[in-house]
A and B are shown apart, each in its own frame.
Chain A
Amino acid sequence: MIQYILRRCLYALPLLMGVNILTFVLFFIVNSPEDMARMQLGQKHVTPAAIQNWKQQHGYDLPLLWNDTQDNSKKLTETIFYQKSVGLFLLDFGVSDSGRDMSTDIKQRMWPSLALALPSLILGLTVNICVALMMVLFRNTYLELGSMVLCVMLMSISSLFYIIGGQFYIGKVLKLVPISGYTDGFEALKFMVLPVIIGVVSGIGSGARWYRTLFLEETEKDYVRTARAKGLSETQVLFKHVLKNAMIPILTGVVVVLPLLFMGSLIMESFFSIPGLGSYTIDAINSQDFAIVRAMVFLGSLLYIIGLLLTDISYTLVDPRVTLS
């Protein structure tokens, strides 16, 4: 397995390089270093000398990808791309174009993101699986039909509606929780209740229907018939046997997103004023802060690769037939 993990890590290098190049090219197609300087320096009284000065101080006065004025390897190294990319592979994100240390910012912002995303994921998964199993349990009854209709309705509503509606009804009308906000420690619980509930409820429609499909497929299999024949109750069959055997497809969807939980949720964090990483990249794109954009895209790619690797490893844990080689 170690060999497999090492090989996957090596495969990740060209992938990350490719993502980095793509981010670089896409960003600089839309923004030039001069645009970035203007954005940072403001709109009023910006002189060409000030722009040149900013570019020089932030290392954007070099050519983008190839420096013809230099010799040998410096043709490649004395470029914006090289200077801004090398540190990333050492996980040194450096300083943003607005002058803040990004590692500090990321460390500070990932915990609130996690505080929201982790309970949402765990509770959401639990609720979705329970609802799906209930639907399977009451298969071919009005309860199943009603649940399916409800799921389709829940799926059809925009997530923004859940947020605004939830804030209005639970926060404003019922006054049970703060409409938005955040604080550190256990007191954050008060602020997390509403976004977590909304996150869970908004995901029930699609989640429950997806898991229901997985469970139905399993219930047709021989081992389920055997279990029933042994005299196990339907709940025992579903919760102990079907659920266990449906873990591989569940894991595929869940483990891969685990590392990405750090990256946060843009809309949720924005509406609930949660100081997470969700809006970090979008804010950076809006303010043309390339340093943050490349760092966050790189981090996102890295976490995704780690997520895929973890998924593969988790297969071996839930299904002894799977071996990594």
Chain B
Amino acid sequence: MTLLGMSSILSMPIKTLSVLVCLVVLLTACDLTSLNNPYVGENTAGSVLYSSFSERPKHLDPAVSYNSNEYTFIGQIYEPPLQYHYLKRPYELIPLTTTKMPTVVYRDKAGKPLPENAAIQDIAFTDYILDIKPSIQFQPHPALAKDNNGIYLYHHLSLKQLEDLSSIGDFKATGSRELTAEDYVYQIKRLANPKIQSPIAGVMQPYIVGFEDFAKQLSAAPQTDLKTISMQGVKALNRYQYQITINGKYPQFRFWLAMQFFAPMPWEADVFYAQPGLKAKNISLDWFPIGTGPYQLTENNPNRQMVLLKNPLFHGERYPDSGEAKDKALGLLHDAGKPLPFIDKVVYILEKETIPYWNKFLQGYYDASGIASDSFDQAIQFAGNGQAQLTPAMQAQGMRLQTEVQTSSFYMGFNMLDNVVGGDSERARKLRQAIAIAIDYEEYISIFTNGRGVAAQGLLPPGIYGNQEGQAGMNPYVYDWVNTAYQRKSLTVAKQLMTEAGYTNGIDPATGQSLILYFDSTSVSTEDRPMLNWYRKQFEKLGIKLVVRATDYNRFQQKMRDGNAQIFVWGWNADYPDPENFFFLLYGPNGKAKHGGENAGNYHNPQFDKLFEQMRNMDNGENRMQLIQQLQEQIRHDAPWVFGYHPKGFALFHGWYLNSKANLMANNKLKYLRIDSAARDAKRQAWNRPNFWPLLVGLVLLIILLVPAIIAYRRRASATLQITQHRQQDIPS
């Protein structure tokens, strides 16, 4: 039809065509606002936050999930006993579902209680006693639905019931019940369950008493026995109180109690989800959580969008009424004492690409955004003092910028098992120190991260206890203190160190040629080439030839496990705000090649190990601070790493996005945020009025192009006819 239609259009009179075109123009000129609104049927009545996710979460089971993109969801749904204060710095733990902070009791080998200041060697066990608040309810969930006789409605699903199901929303009834201490105990048992494969099972095994025995018992028993088999070190003392007993003293355990791993789980959830047929419909605990937190996951389509709705049974919490000194001026205490959460609904939309996300953010369809390299210059400019600020265009849109140095470290590591760069010899140490001076990480931050980072002076990032600012926190082997600022030592110092190491001008005496070092990297794409070339140039400053051995991540990991890499770059993101979580990366018994631990460079120094063992179980205080500085000095001297940089997070928010404060430890920040929906609606309307005129201009141009074509066609058709007439005249009758 269309093709024949084309034929008819060509033969249509020009007047008719003109009328048609005018009609189209009139129709398209109607006043239609927000045609580009991506939220179809949006309900603007409540407070809705729009966000995105770029990678679908793998697990939403709190015993398994260990990924920041998964914490975005489960942090709002599950509630561990403790949480971080939203506003106070340094980071402070406060009760979440408990009535107070845990009672800690030290005991000796005989089980007798010890005083708080007991020596570490005397402490055989530590009891953590937690009292949970009464009347906390689980979110409405079919696993908890009961009939009038108190029998669970959906714990024995028939085949007929299964056939009718496609999503968890298809269960007509939901139920709830009160949170008890047993639910916390049950979750800790789940961490030990080998079938569940919790990533922290290996970490908790040496600490929680009876953890390993429980796992062994359970592996030989049916999974349903998880509830009935007891774990020696974990028990409910009464309905609202439970106790965790750990071996020795491990003060960092309190931080684990603020992680989702220790959130409560009702036994009914496991019974419900274990029913055959549900997993085949993607109905599992990994996809449909059941928590006590301020939000519940009502839509889980990881291929498109995830929706959190306010939990109608949330136990209630208030916005904090104190914080840092600057918080009041920033308006962060405006909502002090108000009930949480503020936002009714959160819509997370799958956005794989940064460009569409950024454009939609500028149109007001997303409330907050990070800043990708592509958009950096559009959003940020640096003032004369080097301070990042918003460009005038962003300021005009009423945006706000938030920057915060992350509690992460990116470093270049040396394999200490390597014959050339490793070991504790003077030669190797001086070589490493020279390289540490030569690699100009300030330049790296400027070129490759748009200035979003601070060069590291040691192992600990800002915000972690033990990190020092100013001259006291300087790495004296790499920097000098000049005019109240760090200044990287000159290349002359580095070259002198090379000479002392026996590599004058970078010449390896064994070969008489430039020293060749090998950089094992996972950067294999062409986009990474400038960065690899930059590294080569840094080594060339010392006359060293750097050979890049680029492999995929699997092979790289294999090399690291086997101890075959020579130089590599890696990073670490803090689990909790304690120096132990960083120094353990260089603890000898954590060596990757020998022990399969997280010490990727296989650094082993008995002096360091001894100091670390002393420091790790100490409470924060003067003595601990001294030990931390000694540890810093030791590794700065030994230089097993070139301390690279701590990344700086840049976040942009629209003016209507309120109460946002960077908190790198808390996963449950959503409940504190507030959206000024009225302001957002007004801005969206103003920013998204469609422009029709270019479309009309295009249409006119098309007509201008088509008209001569039609005229030419007609002329040609009639010319053919004339020629035919001439020829007919020529033919003799």
Residues of B within 8 A of A49 (CB): 202
A9-37 interface code vs B (CB 8 A; 1 in, 0 out): 00000000000000000000011100100
Contact B279 A101 (CB under 8 A): yes
Give A248 to B304 CA distance when docked, in angstroms: 39
Residues of A157-173 at the interface with B, using a CB-CB cut-off of 8 Å, are 164, 167-168, 171-173
Neighbour of B712 across the interface among A108, A138, A172, A183, CB < 8 A: A138
Choose from B6, B284, B356, B691 the contact partner of A179 (Cβ within 8 Å): B356
Q: Which of B97-105, B346-354, B481-489, B521-529 contacts A (4 or more CB under 8 A)?
A: B346-354
A249 within 8 A of B: no
Check if B202 sits within 8 Å of A178, measured CB to CB. Answer: no
A243 to chain B: which residues have CB within 8 Å? Answer: 3
Q: How many angstroms from the CA of A191 to the CA of B304 in the assembled complex?
A: 14
B228 within 8 A of partner (CB): no
Contact status B355-A35, CB under 8 Å: no
In the complex with contacts A130-B2, A167-B356, A99-B713 CB distance below 8 A: no
Tell whether A176 pairs with B554 under 8 Å between CB atoms, given A98-B58, A130-B6.
no
B557 at the interface (CB under 8 A from A): yes
**Segment among A50-58, A59-67, A81-89, A314-322 that sits at the interface with chain B:** A50-58
Contact A187 B6 (CB under 8 A): no
A244 to chain B, nearest CB (A): 10
| Residue A203, interface by CB 8 Å | no
Partner-contacting stretch, out of A214-222, A266-274, A298-306: A266-274
**Surface stretch bound by A, among B13-21, B34-42, B426-434:** B34-42
Contact code string A269-296 (vs B, CB < 8 Å = 1, else 0)? 0111101000100010001100000000
Residues of chain B lying within 8 A (CB to CB) of residue A141: 712
Cross-chain contact of A239 among B7, B67, B197 (Cβ < 8 A): B7
- Chain A, 226-240, contact with B by CB distance < 8 Å: what is the 0/1 string? 000000011110010
Are A181 and B38 in touch, CB under 8 angstroms? yes
B281 on the A face (CB < 8 A):
yes
The listed residue (B56, B194, B359, B694) touching A168 by CB distance below 8 A is B359
**B11 in the interface, Cβ–Cβ < 8 Å?**
yes
B359 & A179 in contact (Cβ 8 Å cutoff): yes
User: Would A239 and B351 be within 8 Å (CB), given that A42-B67, A42-B199 are in contact?
Assistant: no
Select B40's contact among A98, A177, A183, A235, beta carbons within 8 Å.
A183
Q: Given the complex of chains A and B, what is the CA–CA distance between A182 and B63 in angstroms?
A: 33
B59 cross-chain contacts in A, Cβ below 8 A: 98-99
CA distance A38 to B554 in the complex (A): 9
Interface of chain B, main secondary structure: loop
| Distance A38 CA – B66 CA, assembled complex (angstroms) | 13
Give residues of chain A (137-156) contacting chain B, Cβ–Cβ below 8 Å: 137-138, 141, 143
Which listed residue, A30, A174, A271, touches B552 by the CB 8 Å rule?
A: A30
Of the candidates A38, A53, A173, A272, the one whose C-beta lies within 8 Å of that of B691 is A173
- A287–B6 Cα distance when bound, in Å, is 49
Those of B303-343 within 8 Å (CB) of chain A: 303-304
| Per-residue A-contact encoding for B27-55, CB less than 8 Å = 1, 0 else | 00000000111111100000000000001
Q: Which of A54, A164, A171 contacts B36 (CB 8 A)?
A: A171
Q: Is the CB of B197 within 8 A of A126?
A: no
Residues B694 and A174 in contact, CB atoms below 8 Å apart: yes
In the complex formed, the residue of A with least CB distance to B202 is A47
A233 x B38 contact (CB < 8 A):
no
CA distance A168 to B359 in the complex (A): 8
Nearest opposing residue in chain B for A99, CB measure: B286
Give the CA-CA distance A243 to B720 in the complex, in Å. Answer: 22
- Quick one: which of B195, B282, B360, B575 contacts A100, CB cutoff 8 A? B282
Taking A100-B282, A172-B359 as contacts, is the C-beta distance between A187 and B688 under 8 angstroms? no
Q: Which residue of B has the minimal Cβ distance to A46? A: B199
Residue of A nearest to B356 (CB): A180
Name B689's contact: one of A45, A164, A175, A273 (CB within 8 Å): A175
Give every chain A residue within 8 A of B352 (Cβ-Cβ): 270-271, 273, 279
Would you call B238 an interface residue if the criterion is a C-beta within 8 Å of the partner chain's C-beta atoms?
Answer: no
What distance in Å separates the Cβ of A176 from its nearest Cβ neighbour in chain B?
A: 5
B656-710 contacts to A (CB < 8 Å): 688-692, 694-695, 709
Asked if residues A104 and B356 are in contact (CB atoms below 8 Å), the reply is no
A48 CB–B CB distance under 8 Å: yes
Q: List B contacts of A40 (CB < 8 A).
A: 58
Which residue of A47, A172, A236, A275 contacts B363 across the interface (Cβ within 8 Å)? A172
B717 at the interface (CB under 8 A from A): yes
Flag whether B280 is at the interface (Cβ < 8 A). yes
CA distance A267 to B37 in the complex (A): 22
Bitwise, A101-143 to B at CB < 8 A (1) or not (0) is 1001100110000000000000000100110011001100101
User: Contact residue range for chain A?
Assistant: 35 or more
B279-A42 in contact (CB<8A): no
Contact A164 B355 (CB under 8 A): yes
A178 and B38 alpha carbons, distance in the complex (Å): 5
Query: Are A99 and B284 closer than 8 Å at their CB atoms?
Result: yes
Contact of A180 among B38, B66, B284 (CB under 8 A): B38
A-B contact number at CB 8 A: 170
Specify which chain A residues have a CB less than 8 angstroms from the CB of B304 in the assembled complex: 182, 273, 275
Query: Is B4 among interface residues, defined by CB-CB distance under 8 A?
Result: yes
Q: Which residue of B lies closest to A38 (CB)?
A: B557
Cβ A105 vs Cβ B282 within 8 A: yes
With contacts A44-B199, A174-B690, A175-B689 taken as known, whether A273 is within 8 angstroms of B351 at the C-beta atoms is yes
Chain A residue nearest in CB terms to B201 = A50
**Given contacts A45-B199, A167-B356, A270-B353, A126 and B713 within 8 Å (CB-CB):** no
Report yes or no: A137 in contact with B690, Cβ–Cβ below 8 A: no
Interface contact B38-A104, CB-CB below 8 Å: no
Using CB atoms, name the residue of chain B closest to A191.
B38
Is A108 touching B303 in the complex (CB atoms < 8 A)?
A: yes
Chain A residue numbers with a CB within 8 Å of B2 are 126, 130
Query: Residue A308 at the B interface, CB < 8 A?
Result: no
Contact with A along B176-199 (1 / 0, CB 8 A): 000000000000000000110101
Q: Give bound CA distance, A104 to B287, whole Å.
A: 14
Closest residue on chain A to residue B66 by CB atoms:
A42
For B709, list chain A residues within 8 Å (CB): 134, 138, 143
* Chain B residues whose C-beta falls within 8 Å of the C-beta of A130 in the assembled complex: 2-3, 6
B554 → chain A closest CB, angstroms: 4
Q: How far is the CB of A95 from chain B (nearest CB, A)?
A: 7
Residues of B within 8 A of A8 (CB): none
Residues of A within 8 A of B3 (CB): 126, 129-130, 133, 239, 243
A-contact bits for B713-732, CB 8 A (1 contact / 0 none) = 10011001000000000000
Q: Does A224 contact B (CB under 8 A)?
A: no
B472 at the interface (CB under 8 A from A): no
Docked pose: A206 CA to B194 CA in angstroms = 57
A190 part of interface (Cβ distance < 8 Å): yes
CB atoms of B557 and A104 under 8 A apart = no
- A309 on the interface (CB 8 Å rule)? no
Q: Which residue of the partner chain B has the closest CB to A280? A: B303
Query: What is the CB-to-nearest-CB distance from A42 to chain B, in angstroms, rounded to a whole number?
Result: 5
Q: At the interface, yes or no: A297 with Cβ under 8 Å from chain B?
A: no
B199 touches A174 (CB 8 A): no
Sample 24 A-B pairs with CB under 8 A, ordered by A number. Answer: A38-B557, A46-B199, A53-B194, A54-B197, A100-B287, A105-B282, A130-B2, A134-B709, A138-B709, A138-B712, A143-B709, A164-B355, A171-B36, A171-B359, A176-B692, A178-B37, A178-B38, A180-B351, A180-B353, A187-B41, A191-B38, A234-B720, A235-B7, A235-B11
Given contacts A95-B280, A172-B359, A180-B351, 16 further A-B contacts (CB under 8 A): A42-B199, A45-B199, A50-B197, A98-B59, A126-B3, A174-B692, A175-B35, A175-B36, A175-B689, A179-B359, A179-B363, A180-B360, A234-B717, A270-B353, A271-B355, A288-B554
A-B pairs with lowest CB-CB distance, top 10? A181-B38, A178-B38, A47-B202, A275-B304, A275-B303, A180-B356, A35-B554, A235-B7, A175-B690, A187-B40
Measured CB to CB, the residues of A under 8 A from B are 30-32, 35, 38, 40-42, 44-50, 53-54, 57, 95, 98-101, 104-105, 108-109, 126, 129-130, 133-134, 137-138, 141, 143, 164, 167-168, 171-183, 187, 190-191, 233-236, 239, 243, 270-273, 275, 279, 283, 287-288
